[in-house]
């Protein structure tokens, strides 16, 4: 039977609905279940000139899927979308799709969820505190999580996610850093198959603090945590200066990088592999992958958005589902 992959369309006025339609058009061996408004998907298909065969989801299993066909679990929009112009009236619709996906994954109705991008500001404009899928799924699952972006060549995890820069230093505590490193370490083993993962940890300050002359977070927080975890057997390097940590000579020494904040490392990935990078959430009780880009409101409705990152996210979700099945058949948790 094909794995049932939940797909959320994200912001209705963004490129997400078009990307789902493009994904459905591929021959990928998965039972795609879009959690979205069915008319929204049909309008997106028309804008892309793609023929979409939408079938109401009955929760059943299938063993083949024709390219262009997709199941749908209909969750109605509050107002019809205008491409490029997010409407906060649809914020609760967007959150309802995420809730259904998370509950369905926890209840094993879906093998994994793949999310298309949403417009965080539109949800905030509806008066709802929200900073991202990562934090939303973590709160719903009562889980400690870590955001990771992965291309075929580079994996980057983040010690902090969607935080104003002014709050970053205070958010990196010995306890939070240790928790993050343990999740990254365990998930590199479980999800990527590294028996003894090598993790490079970046400093927070220029030159990793220059021995305390350019900031003390390395000396006061990062180094003590690294020493503690190294003594327990983890293979950790750093704190490394972020500006040179990604040069080719350094990369051969690690399997993943832990960056201290969002924009410290994501520009590296996005500039070299925008179409091949996948965002995944480590630490959740279910598999969640996503695109590496946003809602691209400038392209919405044009049919020109590149679906490569969403297709890569679906491939990664399927690989992780297969790895999980193999691991549980061997008796691992």
Ligand X SMILES: NCC(=O)COP(=O)(O)O
Ligand Y SMILES: NC(=O)C1=CN([C@@H]2O[C@H](COP(=O)(O)OP(=O)(O)OC[C@H]3O[C@@H](n4cnc5c(N)ncnc54)[C@H](O)[C@@H]3O)[C@@H](O)[C@H]2O)C=CC1
Say which entry of ligand X, ligand Y, none residue 134 contacts (CB below 5 to 8 A, set by partner kind): ligand X
d(CA 141, CA 314): 22
Which among 272, 273, 304, 303 has a CA at the least distance from the CA of 291? Answer: 273
**Closer of 134 and 264 to ligand X (Cβ):** 134
CA distances from 215 to 86, 181, 227 (A): 41, 22, 19
Task: By CB under 6 A, tell whether 295 contacts ligand X.
Answer: no
The least distance separating ligand X from the CB of residue 305, rounded to whole angstroms, comes to 16
- The answer to the question of whether 74 is labelled as a binding residue is no
Site track 247-276 with ligand X (rule: CB under 6 A), x = hit: -------------------x----------
CA distances from 316 to 5, 55, 202, 224 (A): 11, 24, 26, 34
- The answer to the question of whether 134 is labelled as a binding residue is yes
CA distances from 133 to 10, 55, 299, 308, 318 (A): 10, 26, 22, 20, 20
The least distance separating ligand X from the CB of residue 256, rounded to whole angstroms, comes to 16
Q: How many residues bind ligand X (CB under 6 A)?
A: 6
Site track 121-160 with ligand X (rule: CB under 6 A), x = hit: -----------xxx--------------------------
Say which entry of ligand Y, ligand X, none residue 205 contacts (CB below 5 to 8 A, set by partner kind): none
d(CA 156, CA 285): 20
**Closer of 6 and 177 to ligand Y (Cβ):** 6
Q: Which two tokens stand for residue 233?
A: 């057997």
- The answer to the question of whether 133 is labelled as a binding residue is yes
């Amino acid at each position: 039977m094909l794995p049932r992959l939940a797909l959320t369309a994200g912001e209705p006025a963004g490129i997400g609905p078009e990307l789902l339609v493009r994904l459905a058009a591929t021959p990928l061996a998965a039972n795609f279940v879009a959690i979205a408004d069915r008319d929204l998907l049909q309008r997106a298909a028309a804008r892309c000139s793609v023929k979409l065969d939408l079938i109401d989801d009955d929760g059943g299993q299938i063993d083949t899927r024709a390219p262009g066909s997709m199941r749908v679990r209909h969750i109605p929009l509050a107002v019809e979308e205008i491409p490029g112009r997010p409407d906060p009236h649809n914020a609760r619709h967007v959150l309802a799709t995420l809730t259904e996906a998370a509950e369905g994954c926890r209840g094993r109705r879906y093998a994994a969820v793949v999310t298309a991008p949403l417009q965080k500001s539109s949800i905030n404009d509806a008066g709802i505190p929200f900073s991202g899928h990562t934090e939303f799924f973590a709160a719903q699952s009562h889980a400690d999580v870590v955001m990771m972006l992965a291309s075929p060549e580079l994996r980057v995890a983040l010690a902090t996610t969607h935080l104003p820069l002014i709050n970053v230093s205070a958010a990196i505590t010995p306890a939070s850093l240790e928790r993050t490193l343990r999740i990254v370490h365990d998930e590199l083993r479980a999800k990527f198959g590294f028996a003894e993962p090598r993790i490079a940890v970046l400093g927070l300050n220029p030159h990793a603090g220059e021995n305390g002359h350019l900031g003390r977070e390395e000396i006061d927080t990062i180094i003590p945590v690294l020493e503690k975890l190294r003594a327990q057997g983890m293979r950790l390097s750093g704190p490394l200066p972020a500006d040179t940590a990604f040069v080719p000579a350094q990369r051969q020494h690690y399997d993943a990088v832990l960056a201290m904040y969002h924009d410290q490392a994501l520009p590296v990935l996005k500039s070299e592999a925008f179409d091949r990078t996948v965002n995944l959430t480590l630490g959740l009780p279910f598999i969640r992958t996503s695109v590496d880009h946003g809602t691209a409101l400038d392209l919405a409705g044009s049919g020109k958005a590149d679906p490569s990152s969403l297709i890569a996210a679906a491939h990664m979700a399927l690989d992780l589902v297969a790895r999980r099945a193999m691991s549980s058949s061997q008796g691992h948790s």
